[in-house]
Amino acid sequence: MIVLTETIKKVNSPSRLTLQTVKIAPETTTIRSLDWDRDRFDIEFGLNNGTTYNSFLIQGEKTALIDTSHQKFRQLYLDGLESLIDLSTIDYLIVSHTEPDHSGLVKEVLQLAPQVTVIGAKVGIQFLENMVHQPFKHRIVKNGDRVDLGMGHELEFVSAPNLHWPDTIFTYDTKTRILYTCDAFGMHYCDDFLFDEEPDLIKADFQYYYDCLMGPNARSVLAALKRIDKLAIEKIATGHGPLLQHHISKWVEHYREWSQAQAKAETLVALFYAEDYGYSDELARAIANGIIKTGVAVELVSLNAAEPQEIRELVDAAAGLVIGMPPQSAPIAHTALGTILAAARPKQAVGLFESGGGEDEPIYPLRNKFQEIGLSEAFPPISLKEPPNQTLEQMCDEAGIDIGQWLTRDRTVQQMKSLDGNLDKALGRLSNGLYVITAKKGEISSAMLASWVTQASLSPLGVAIAVAKDRAIASFLQPGDRFVLNVLEEGNYRTLMKHFLKRFPPGSDRFAGIKTYPATNGSPILADALAYMECEVTSRMECSDHWIVYGTVQTGRVAKLDALTAVHHRKVGNHY
Ligand SMILES: Cc1cc2nc3c(=O)[nH]c(=O)nc-3n(C[C@H](O)[C@H](O)[C@H](O)COP(=O)(O)O)c2cc1C
């Protein structure tokens, strides 16, 4: 048992943001940013007990800082850090994942300590390059990679994608046996307790946090648990809330039980790809994102590492298969493809994509074999003509949505039948106008016919739109994004309505054959619309199967003053 000498230092600020620095193990200090009053997280996640953002400093012969803090702690955090260490002596900054509440001060730390080498997962470093906008030294780590800080502090990295960001890594210190997990095992709970000595006080928050952030990725949680099972863990240093020390096995078992139960109930797509080959990681991630939007679970499996037994079990459990073509020269991947084919069964959905490594296994013979077995193709093969760009990523996202929607089509039909007749008709009396939402981000654009649209505020002028979670346009409607709300005209809306209700193949141009001109915010204005408004998304609220997107209106115009808006009258309320 390690005996700790604790020094707790608190710096109070008027808005109840405080900082706590505590030595938690030899050469190891936590710097906790306590956000006592925060009442909301990720828009949809209400908090009762505030939250904390935990950062850690390990001072061996070399020094590593694990994560930073939220921007709102800028001064407090940097002062606290400087009181512990001369910033010019920090060697590594480990970014467990790039969500702004932990990496919000990475840019500042790098400005003050440009000698630092940032350590992160491949995707994490890519995300950071877009956040920091300045060159920085970095090292990409994979599962099992190690960095030696000296004085016994050898750090081992554990890949934990989707817990709850795609780029998440855990760090294990072999000397102190502390596992740094960032979001995993955390909770939004802010009080003076540094550790979990009062489990009854925090269990509800621990579970709520799991349900909101980890439950949707239950299979990824199970995969990460498998990776940490071999580690002797004395403390779990979480990124939010108290650190775990007194009841570790209990907390880990909760994660295992909840995830197993969740995984059993899910419709699953097994996504096989050759890790680190060509662009397979990027494409696999984009397809997985699309699948997740439809409420279908996805498990990413490396063709170079998976055991045949594991592959057979997964194919058996999966309703859909997605495969990124591995290199022809890798015998292990070849064998894995054979195992998948042998275990595949009719009625499963399948989708294939090229990985672009230069010696991809050809896609079409494999496609024919799946067709012979009787699998249904959920999206056409994705071929690579050039390195991934926004257009290809969007295509992959939409391909993921397509396979997810195909697998959940029964659920959709059932929902349309599920209402009580009278209620159904009463709800059907809610009538709205007809609109087309259009948006452009960089080189790519999207559009959707919508009727669940309403004015939502006067000052500033604002509108609200209900957007189903699995709409292609949903990724264009994040806070800060811009869009145009086109109002369709009574007597002159059918052509546009018919066009935008077509089933568009993944990545296709939704504006082909439609007259548009660009708005000041870049989104397309439909030339045949009665009116348009240029808007910016301010927030999104999660409402079960839809996002309510609230946007402020910047400018707008009416084409014909005497014309009326097309109105959509419905008979029943269980669909649009
Ligand atoms: C009359 C009508 C109104 C609609 N209103 C909405 C809406 O408000 N929100 C929404 O998410 N979908 C709405 N839809 C569904 C989408 O417009 C439709 O499914 C579209 O084709 C989606 O394309 P995507 O799934 O390829 O993104 C509506 C459909 C119809 C027929």
Distance 215 CA to ligand 1 centre (A): 28
Distance 569 CA to ligand 1 centre (A): 15
Query: What kind and span of H or E run contains 441?
Result: strand 435-441
Is 452 near ligand 1, meaning CB less than 6 Å away? yes
Distance 388 CA to ligand 1 centre (A): 28
pLDDT in tens, 133-155: 889 999 999 999 999 999 999 99
Q: Domain 266-411 is classified in which CATH homologous superfamily?
A: Flavodoxin domain (3.40.50.360)
Mean pLDDT confidence for 554-564: 96
Are the C-beta atoms of 30 and 24 separated by less than 8 Å? yes
217 pLDDT band (50/70/90 cuts)?
Answer: confident
Q: Which residue has the tokens 């301010």?
A: 538
CATH class of 9-264: alpha beta
Are the C-beta atoms of 482 and 522 separated by less than 8 Å? yes
What pLDDT does residue 46 have?
A: 65
Q: Determine the Cα–Cα distance for residues 431 and 323; give it in Å rounded to an integer.
A: 44
What pLDDT does residue 429 have?
A: 95
pTM of the model: 0.74
Task: Find out whether the peptide bond into 327 is cis, omega within 30 degrees of 0.
Answer: no
Is 448 near ligand 1, meaning CB less than 6 Å away? yes
Distance 439 CA to ligand 1 centre (A): 15
What pLDDT does residue 5 have?
A: 34
By alpha-carbon position, which residue is closest to atom 7 of ligand 1? Answer: 450
Residue spans of the domains in the chain: they are 9-264, 266-411, 421-568
What pLDDT does residue 494 have?
A: 97
By alpha-carbon position, which residue is closest to atom 6 of ligand 1? Answer: 450
Q: Smallest Cα–Cα separation from 408: which of 342, 320, 495?
A: 320
Q: Report CA torsion sign: 200, 206, 211, 212.
A: positive
Residue 367 has pLDDT above 60, yes or no: yes
Q: Which amino acid is at 311?
A: I
Q: Determine the Cα–Cα distance for residues 168 and 28; give it in Å rounded to an integer.
A: 21
- The 10 Å Cβ neighbour count of residue 195 is 14
Q: Which amino acid is at 180?
A: Y
Are the C-beta atoms of 178 and 152 separated by less than 8 Å? no
| Buried residues in 54-88 as b, exposed as e (16+ CB within 10 A) | bbbbbbbebbbbbbbbbebbeebbbebbeeeeebe
- The 10 Å Cβ neighbour count of residue 460 is 10
3-state secondary structure of 390: helix
- 40-41/45-46 β-pairing: antiparallel
What pLDDT does residue 304 have?
A: 83
Distance 78 CA to ligand 1 centre (A): 48
| Buried residues in 306-315 as b, exposed as e (16+ CB within 10 A) | beeeebeebb
Residue 11 has pLDDT above 80, yes or no: no
Is 501 near ligand 1, meaning CB less than 6 Å away? yes
Q: Domain 421-568 is classified in which CATH homologous superfamily?
A: Electron Transport, Fmn-binding Protein; Chain A (2.30.110.10)
By alpha-carbon position, which residue is closest to atom 5 of ligand 1? Answer: 450
4 pLDDT band (50/70/90 cuts)?
Answer: very low
